[in-house]
Every structure is written in C-alpha cells, then in structure tokens.
Chains A and B, each alone.
Chain A
Amino acid sequence: MTELSLGPFSRVEGDLELRLTCEGGRVVAAEAATPLYRGIEQILEGRPAQDALVIAARLCGSCSVSQSMAAAKALGMAIGTRPPANGMIAANLILACETAADHLTHFYLSFMPDFADPAYSCRPWYALAVRRFQAQTGVAAREMEKARVAFLHAMGILAGRWPHNLAIQPGGTTKSIDLGERMRLLAVLADFRRFLETALYGDTLEAVAGLSSVADLTRWADAHGADGADLPLFLEIAQDLGLASLGRGPDRFLSVGAFGGVEDPLFPAGIWRMGAGNALDLADLREDLSHTWMSGPNLHPRDGTTLPDADKPGGYSWCKAVRLSGDSMEVGAFARQMIAGHPLIRSMAAAQGGRATVAGRVVARLLELAILVSAMERWVRSFAASEPYCLPAPVPERAEGCGLVEAARGSLGHWLAVEGGRIRRYQIVAPGTWNCSPRDSSCRPGPLEEALVGTPVDEGEAMPLPVRHIVRSFNLCLRCAAQ
C-alpha cells in the first residue's frame, strides 16, 4: 500500500490537494482537500443586505455572475419581488454568457492540454494534440481566446464588464437593451456560432445538440474525424484511452434548474437517484462538518454556521460535506443534462452504470454549449421593446430568502437571513461544495473522491495522468467550494 500526496493542481480553479491510497496499481481511497479559506460567508454577516450583490460575487472570478444572480434571487425572495420579463431575459443571457465562456475555456485551457503530455508520445493522435492543445503554445487555445474575447463583448453589451458586475439586481437588470444593441448581440452570437461550428464541432450547433445516443455519437465522431475539429479529436482520444469508463462518480445527480422565468427552464430542476428522476426537494439538505475544519453541528444551510477551526481533529479540508438525505450528489453539466433527459447523456450514463465519467462530463459541457448558444439567439429576439427591465425592490427589515442558480460548474445556493436591513446569516453551497466535498459522518466520500477510486496508477508516476484527467473532467472550483 502506498500513499500519494498530490498538489498543487494547475488548470483547476483554486487550491486542491489529493491524498491517494494505492494498492495493486489502483487507487483504493482518496481524500480531496481544499487548503484555502477566505471567509466570505463570515464577511457578509452584519453588512447591509444588498451588499451581498457585491461581496458574494467576489467569492469566485469564474462564476461571479452566477454568484450575483444567486444573491439577487435570495434577496428577491426576501423582498417578495420578481423581475419583469425583460429583466429575466437579460439575466438569463448574462448567465448563459458566463456559462458558455466557462465551458469553452475549460475545454481548451484546462482539460485538453494534458493530452500533450510526453507520456502520450506514442499515441497516433499525439502530434495533433501537441499542435492544438499544448499549454501556452497550442494553436487551438489561441483561436479560442480570440473567439472568447469577441464573445464576451456580449457580456459588455448586457452587463458592462466581466467578471464582477452588478447588472443583476433583485428587481431586474440595470441596463435596457436597445434595438441596435440587440442587433449587436446577434452579430456577436453569429461570430461565436461560426467559431464553434468550424473549430470545435466541425458541424452545426443543432446537429451536435441533436446527438441522441452513444452509438450516434460514435458514428458522428467517425464521420467528422477528418474535419480537423476539436470535439471529434477529443472523441478519438477518449476512445483510445478509454475515457468513457474512467472516473465514475456517484449514480446520483442534482440540478436546481436553469434559464427559466419567462418560459419553462431550459434545463429543469430535479434529482436523479436509483436510476430515476424526481422533483427537486432540498428539505433534507445538510452540511456535514465531520471532516471539515469547522466547528458546530450539521445543519441545513438555511440555519447553517461557519466557524473555522483549523485544529479540528479529523478535519482535512475547509470544504463542508454537503449531503442530500445523507447522499453525495454530482452536479454540473452532466447532471443537468441527465435530469433534463437529454438522450445522449442518458445513454452515456446507462453505458456506465448510471454514472458520469471523464468523457461524459466533457461531452455534456460541449453539448450544453451548443444548446445554450442557439437558445441565446432566441432569447435576444424575445426582448419586448418599451417594457421595463427593473422594478423597485426595497429590502425589508426582517426576512429570509434562498437563491438557487445553475452555475456553469453545477448547482449553487445562497441562503440569507436579514434583520434590521442587515445580513444576519449568509450560507453558500457551491458546485465545488458538492463535487469536492470531503467525507461525511458515515465516512462516505464526496463525488470526486468516489470517482478517483479504482483509477489505475503507475506508482512511479508523480502525477498520474488518469488522476489528472478525472480531476479536470469535473471542472472543479475550489474557491467556491470552501468560500
């Protein structure tokens, strides 16, 4: 039996340290620790309620819009207000912009560069992987960065800047979008569509969104393999390295639902457990502190506390272990599409015992990117001229609220209590809190910890590649995980 302590992980948001126990060339147990604590929840206490929009967004640079939207929704519930239709459309577009940019950036800058590792030099796709994806020199990342800069002009038009804007408020959004701006948004989206269809997919967004099964995906990859696009290249690599069965997480998924308001949510809320979907019910949510450097009881975040205790016996992470009825749940694009019933993702899960894997998580993000960009085109056309974007929303003296949002990386919840117009309690459960949670009181592992068990490791290898692929396939954010 050998113990491996791995870190730091580059190309992962925030700080992650893994401790792996290996036996017979495989991981038999994993501990995922996040060794950074900033205390944003504590910092929020006592502040004027609306300051949450500024402070909570600073939790995370990569999902700052999601954080501010969750804060705005929590405040909105406390106030008892709902934004007008235009405000909801604009907010959905702003969030979609962040989510699409995150999916894209993760694929090109965080995930793919590992295939340019010299350890793969004898693989048939290696030369192409190096040319396109090698960190900092690959040509694909440069093309993507350029397309991303242009795409984020949509964020400028809608929200002024990114990251960290205050465009999403409890009463709606702060900027009306005039006719010229709507046309500019369509132009930005058309450019972005062209990039995605040429460089990433080698096919139309609609064709990608319409893929319906593992067999369909395989046929599609074979048909488009020679086009030089990046998703078919990834699928070739995934096939060669067996990524479809690597890194199986729990067979339980959660989504709080996304992009609703005016119409039905584009991605509905729900829970997937024991091979079936159910309505979202968070009554049995608990943050378990048994292995967290925090003192206090295990509570629902509605009543939760954050009391750091660096010397706590048994603690190994700043992240709380969030559980639903005692279960860990995987969140993120795969979970969303699983719950939305996308046939390709359901089929990929079915082929792997109902679980997400490295290939599944990556495909789900890129599938979602295709779905989102076409939805954005539709939403831009749905603004109603001369209708309001924002309504007055004064914060009451005393109230409680909860804001649920699907960030790019998974389910996010803010729970807020206001007293005398100030924040009495603020608790955040972020995608990283779900996916990177440590063990709970029953010693059951978090999703990443579970996904690492069984991974083949060459014990001479300092940072085993399969481990790197699994870690990065989650698109973890550890800054959010432990706040």
Chain B
Amino acid sequence: MKPSLSVLWIQAGGCGGCTLSALGAGTGGLTETLDRANIRLLWHPSFSASDGGQALRLLERCASGDQPFDVLCVEGAVLTGGDGGSFQILAGSGRSMACWVRELAQVARYVVAVGTCAAYGGMALSPLVPTKAMGLHYRDEEPGGLLGVDWRSSAGLPVINVSGCPPHPGWIVETLMGLAHDVFQEGDLDSFGRPRFWADHLVHHGCVRNEYYEFKASAAQPSHLGCLLENLGCKGTQAPGDCNLRLWNGGWSCPNAGYACINCTSPRFQDPAGAFLETPKVAGIPVGLPVDMPKAWYVALSMLSKSATPDRVRKNACEDHVVVPPLTTP
C-alpha cells in the first residue's frame, strides 16, 4: 500500500513562524511537497477552508476518536498557567488550548512538536510571565512537560521534537515522510527527542567561516567575515542542526549571513549565560567551547593556530568583503 499520513496541526502559544518556515519546503512549496508524499493536512489553522463550528466539530471528532488521524503536530508552547490554561483559549470553544492538546495527544498515533516552543517551551518559557509555558514532553531540559515523562503515543513513540526557532522546512517534512513510511524508531531520536538525521550534526559542520575558525581569526563586529565564535556569540560548535549542510532559503544560513548561531534547536536556548550576540569569556577565553573537546587542548590549539594565521585570513576577518585574495597555484 502506498504510504500515506493524515496530519492535524494545532497552533498553541507560538509566533506561527514554524508554519511559515514549513511553507518554504522543497522547491515547489509545502502543498506540493506534502502531496507528493501523500501527506494530507486534515486541518491546519493557516491553510484550511473550514473554521468556526465546522472546525471545532472536526477537532471534537478527532479528540473522541470518531475521526482517526495519524499525526498531531503542535506548534508553540503549551500555556498551562492561569485558571486551567486561560492564557490561551481556543476561540469559540471556551476551553484552553492546553486541554485540547492533552486530549488530542491521547488519540494520535504520533505526536510531533514543531519548533523549540512546542518541544521545550522555548521563547515563551520565562519565570517573568505567569503563563507557565512548557513543551509537550519537556520543560526546558527537564523531561515531563505537559504529557509526563512516561507518556507514549499510541504507536509507542515519545513526542518527536522537531525543534528549531524556526525548524528547517526539510526537518519537518522529512520527519512526517519518515512517519508515513513507518520507518521511525525510538533510536532515531536523540536524547532530547530530536530526529537524529539532522540533530546528529552540529551547525558548525560545513560552516563557510571554517577557515577563520581554524585560524581563530575572529569577527570584531557584525558584517565582518571572520569566525563569530570568539566575540559575537556563535554557538554553532555546540548546536545540533545541519543548517550549514542542507542550508536555508536557497543556500544560506545564520553564520553564513554574518550573525551568530544562537543554538535555537536546544532546550533553554532562550536563556543564554550572557547576551545572545556576545561571547561570554573568562580570562579572555570563551566559555562556550565545543562540548566534547578537552578545554586545555582547545586553548593550546587556538594559540597554535593563532600564531599560524595567514595574514590574508587575519585581515579579511575584520572586513565585510575580501580585501586580500588568496594566493593560488597558477
């Protein structure tokens, strides 16, 4: 039988950016990409014709099991604060979105948290607000979230966390395709529930600033060509994601465009040690070094590579365009 999948998409407490990222899928756009994969959007708040009572009845039939569906995609953090989640009431229903999500998750074969808010709470999670935002299966890095540690969907999987702020459209679509083909196992998810096909890479992999990184030739201010790790807050060496391998919007990425990777695929990314766009340092040494490299070696190698930096690389690092071209063999 041809693989197929029906998807119910709910927008909880988020910015809608995950849907807009998804809309840029493939070369032909989301509708065509999903169609080709035989994935049907049963209802999506941004794309569906039906609204009002008609939409509510569909959601009710989904929740009661009368309307079977395969995947519940949730975008945005679940707001559990106030009187039973009163910071987000599903319009027309009088009930909190937190209630709806909890009910719908119980009947879905798979649950996908689309984006870091739905996965871990993300930007909406802050002690400064009374919304008590959390992810479906995590609250920051702490397992549990809305559904509880031991929760599994009816197909036996934990929540699949397609994190990112926003996630790459390919991560979303390929995850759904993997579910349609029934090839997803728990082992395909990393320790924070993210699909390993993209989360087993670091944003650093394939970074166009690689030569500047190697020689520790650093950008001093935005627009400079140099490595963004030492001064401008880049966390690409610690951030899960294949952003610099698969690239965004026709061949680009955050570091590629001159600003830091802010590790938006990770729990608690919204709450960095210092400012997002400044690298915190102790005694002049950045604190957020590659996680699986001994610090002493990193410092030693950095000193060595700094002393070996070609003049060209050092000069270009603090310019917004190449001023010293490379020497090449004729």
Cβ B49 vs Cβ A116 within 8 A: yes
- The interface residues of chain B lying within 8 Å CB-to-CB of A388 are 223, 320
Query: Can you name 16 A-B residue pairings with CB atoms under 8 Å?
Result: A7-B51, A10-B43, A11-B47, A38-B87, A42-B129, A48-B276, A48-B278, A50-B277, A53-B277, A61-B16, A145-B32, A153-B250, A156-B250, A157-B252, A161-B249, A174-B258
Contacts of B173 in A (CB 8 A): none
For the complex, give the distance between the alpha carbons of A264 and B65 in Å. 59
Chain B interface, number of residues (Cβ within 8 angstroms): 83
Identify the 3 closest CB pairs spanning chains A and B, nearest first. A145-B29, A61-B17, A160-B257
Query: What residue in chain A is nearest B29 (Cβ atoms)?
Result: A145
Binding site for B on A (CB under 8 A): 5-11, 13-17, 33, 35-40, 42-43, 45-48, 50-51, 53-55, 58-62, 64, 87, 105, 109-110, 113-114, 116-117, 134-136, 141-142, 144-146, 148-150, 152-153, 155-167, 169, 171-176, 178, 308, 310, 318, 386, 388-390, 392, 462-463, 468, 479
Choose, from B89-97, B141-149, B191-199, B299-307, the stretch at the interface.
B89-97
B24 at the A interface (CB under 8 A): yes
Contact status A149-B320, CB under 8 Å: no
Distance (whole angstroms) from the CB of B169 to the closest CB of chain A? 9
- Which B residues lie within 8 Å of A47 (CB)? 275
B41 interface residue (CB < 8 Å to A)? yes
Question: Is B51 within 8 A of A463, CB to CB?
Answer: yes
Question: Contact at A310–B82, with CB atoms within 8 Å?
Answer: yes
- Do A43 and B128 touch (CB < 8 A)? yes
A58 contacts B15, C-beta separation under 8 Å: yes
Q: Are B20 and A390 neighbours in the complex by a CB distance under 8 Å?
A: no
Q: Contact: B257 with A174, CB < 8 Å?
A: yes
Given the known inter-chain contacts A37-B87, A58-B165, A136-B31, please indicate yes or no for A10 contacting B17, CB distance below 8 A.
no
Query: Is B26 interfacial (CB 8 A cutoff)?
Result: yes
CA distance A110 to B44 in the complex (A): 12
Which partner residue on chain A sits nearest B21 by CB separation? A163
With A156-B249, A390-B221 already in contact, the answer to whether A135 and B47 are too (CB < 8 A) is yes
Tell me the bound Cα distance from A129 to B18 in angstroms.
28
Contacts A58-B17, A58-B123, A388-B320 given; 10 further ones with Cβ under 8 A? A9-B51, A10-B49, A17-B91, A36-B13, A114-B49, A152-B24, A156-B247, A159-B257, A388-B223, A389-B223
Is the pair A149, B26 in contact by a Cβ cutoff of 8 Å?
yes
A109 touching B47, Cβ below 8 Å: yes
Nearest CB of chain A from residue B61's CB, rounded to whole Å: 15
Residue in B79, B277, B321 whose CB lies within 8 Å of A386: B321
B82 nearest CB neighbor, chain A only: A310
Q: Are A172 and B86 in contact (CB under 8 A)?
A: no
| Inter-chain CB contacts under 8 Å: number | 283
Q: Please tell me which one of the listed residues A13, A141, A146, A308 contacts residue B27 in the complex, with CB atoms under 8 A apart.
A: A146
Q: Are A462 and B53 in contact (CB under 8 A)?
A: yes
- C-alpha spacing A324/B101, complex, angstroms: 39
B3 at the interface (CB under 8 A from A): no
Q: Does B262 contact A (CB under 8 A)?
A: yes
| Contact between B50 and A175, CB atoms less than 8 A apart | no
Question: What is the chain A residue whose CB lies nearest that of B277?
Answer: A50
Q: In the complex, A150→B32 CA distance in Å?
A: 14
Residues of chain B having any CB pair with chain A under 8 Å:
11, 13-21, 23-32, 41, 43-56, 77, 79, 82-83, 86-93, 123-124, 126, 128-131, 133, 165-166, 221-223, 247-254, 256-260, 262, 264, 270, 274-278, 320-321
Contact at A145–B256, with CB atoms within 8 Å? no
Which of the residues B28, B130, B258 comes within 8 Å of A146, measured between beta carbons? Answer: B28
The answer to whether B254 touches A161 (Cβ under 8 A) is yes
Contact between chains at B29 and A152 (CB < 8 Å): no
**Closest approach, in angstroms, between the C-beta of A159 and any C-beta of chain B?**
6
Min CB–CB distance A285 → chain B (angstroms): 25
Measured CB to CB, the closest approach of chain B to A134, in angstroms, equals: 7
User: In the complex, which of the residues A13, A37, A51, A160 contacts B256, with contact meaning CB atoms closer than 8 Å?
Assistant: A160
What is the predominant secondary structure among interface residues of chain B facing chain A? loop
- Docked Cα-Cα span, A148 to B124, in Å, equals 29
Take A156-B248, A161-B252 as given contacts and tell me if A11 and B90 are in contact as well, using a CB distance cutoff of 8 Å. no
Q: Is there contact, CB below 8 Å, between A61 and B166?
A: yes
Instruction: Check A48/B223 contact, CB under 8 A, given A58-B123, A59-B15, A161-B248.
Output: no
Contact B91 A146 (CB under 8 A): no
Of the candidates A14, A35, A43, A462, the one whose C-beta lies within 8 Å of that of B129 is A43
Contact: A46 with B128, CB < 8 Å?
yes
Q: How far is the CA of A167 from the CA of B27 in the complex (A)?
A: 24
Docked-complex contact B277 and A136, CB < 8 angstroms: no
* Known contacts A36-B88, A136-B48; A160/B259 CB under 8 A: yes
A50-B91 contact, Cβ under 8 Å, with A156-B251, A165-B259: no
Interchain CB contact under 8 A, B129 and A175: no
Distance in Å: Cβ of A294 to nearest Cβ of chain B: 12
Cα of A89 to Cα of B275 in the assembled complex, Å:
27
* Chain A: minimal CB distance from B47 (Å): 6
Chain A nearest CB, measured from B214 CB (Å): 21
A337 CA to B48 CA in the complex, in Å? 30
Q: Contact between A176 and B54 (Cβ–Cβ < 8 Å)?
A: no
Q: Which B residues are in CB contact (< 8 Å) with A43?
A: 123-124, 126, 128-129
Determine if A8 and B56 form an interchain contact, defined as CB atoms under 8 angstroms apart.
yes
**Contact yes or no, B254 A160, CB < 8 A:** yes
Which residues of the other chain, A, contact B259 by a CB distance below 8 angstroms? 160, 165-167, 169, 174
Partner of A35, one of B21, B89, B222: B89
A149 touches B29 (CB 8 A): yes
Q: In the bound complex, do residue A163 and residue B17 qualify as a contact, i.e. CB atoms below 8 Å apart?
A: yes
Q: Choose from A37, A55, A62 the contact partner of B131 (Cβ within 8 Å).
A: A37
Min CB distance A479 to B, Å, is 6
Q: A145-B28, A462-B52 given as contacts; is B276 within 8 A of A51 (CB)?
A: yes
B18 / chain A contacts, CB cutoff of 8 Å: 61
Scoring A165, A166, A310 by chain B CB atoms within 10 A of each residue's CB, the highest score goes to A166
Complex Cα spacing A159 to B123, Å? 21
Residues of B within 8 A of A166 (CB): 254, 259-260, 262, 277
Select which of B87, B262, B275, B320 is within 8 A of A176 by beta carbon: B320
